[in-house]
């Protein structure tokens, strides 16, 4: 992940503008809040929180406590100013130990379009760690881009970034292998909010998951 840090240090503001309109991500957040509605101040981990919007803000407003991690100090600084109620930590996305304030397990984890910066081997590590830090009654919401690539370099917002993507059926099998039940897999066609941005339309995949078994 070291190579990805300067990428989001450079494109942080542009990324937030280009991805300002994320109805699928907000819908996934609402699904999660509904599942957590019977818990008092559930604690949620946001893996790859970016600037904290829209998800950390949505979860905080919905009554959750949130710990957000990211590899980019620039994005984390934006997040701290945007959502000061949350806790933000600079951390690799597959290194999740010691993040819970009382060393318990999280009620839920979200990872929206952060794991796709990793190789498939590192995504396996990240999913194993996510399962490890989740309570056995917890939930996991994942956002990925549909495709079939492993750390493929591409142009994105004026720089070169890696993209790992899965066909939707393969993504479901991957999550099952890591101990998750995919309750729903939602597709959403995304187009950049700014017409001048050089990002191409994408099919986003949102996996709504519960914990299936000990891992």
> Per-residue confidence at 19, pLDDT binned at 50, 70, 90?
low
- The pair phi, psi for residue 127, each rounded to 5°, is -65, -35
Domains and CATH numbers, the chain: 2-211 (3.40.50.150)
Please check the confidence at residue 68 and state whether its pLDDT lies above 90.
yes
Residue 52, classified by CB atoms within 10 Å of its CB into exposed (0-12), middle (13-18) or buried (19+), is buried
Distance CA 96, CA 69 (A): 9
Question: Rounded to whole angstroms, how far apart are CA atoms 165 and 151?
Answer: 8
Strand pairing category for 106-112 and 134-145: parallel
Indicate if the pLDDT at residue 71 is higher than 50.
yes
Report pLDDT digits (tens) over 143-179. 999 999 999 998 766 677 889 999 999 999 999 999 9
Lowest mean pLDDT among 14-23, 72-81, 94-103, 129-138: 14-23
22-47 tens-digit pLDDT? 899 999 999 999 999 999 999 999 99
pLDDT tens digits for range 168-178? 999 999 999 99
């Amino acid at each position: 992940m070291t190579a990805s840090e300067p990428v989001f240090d450079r494109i942080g503001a542009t990324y937030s503008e280009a991805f300002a309109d994320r109805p699928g991500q907000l819908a996934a957040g609402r699904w999660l809040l509904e599942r957590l509605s019977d818990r008092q101040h559930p604690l949620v981990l946001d893996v790859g929180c970016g600037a904290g919007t829209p998800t950390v803000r949505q979860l905080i407003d919905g009554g959750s406590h949130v710990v957000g991690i990211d590899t980019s100090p620039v994005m984390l600084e934006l997040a701290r100013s945007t959502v000061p109620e949350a806790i933000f930590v600079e951390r690799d996305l597959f290194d999740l130990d010691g993040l819970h304030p009382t060393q318990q397990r999280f009620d839920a984890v979200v990872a929206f379009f952060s794991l796709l910066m990793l190789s498939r081997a590192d995504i396996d590590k990240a999913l194993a760690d996510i399962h490890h830090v989740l309570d056995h009654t917890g939930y996991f919401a994942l956002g990925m881009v549909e495709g079939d690539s492993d750390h493929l370099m591409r142009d994105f917002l004026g720089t070169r970034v890696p993209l790992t993507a899965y066909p939707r059926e393969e993504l479901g099998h991957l999550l099952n292998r890591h101990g998750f039940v995919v309750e729903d897999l939602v597709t959403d066609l995304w187009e950049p909010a700014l017409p001048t941005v050089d990002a191409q339309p994408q099919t986003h995949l949102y996996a709504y998951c519960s914990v299936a078994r000990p891992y």
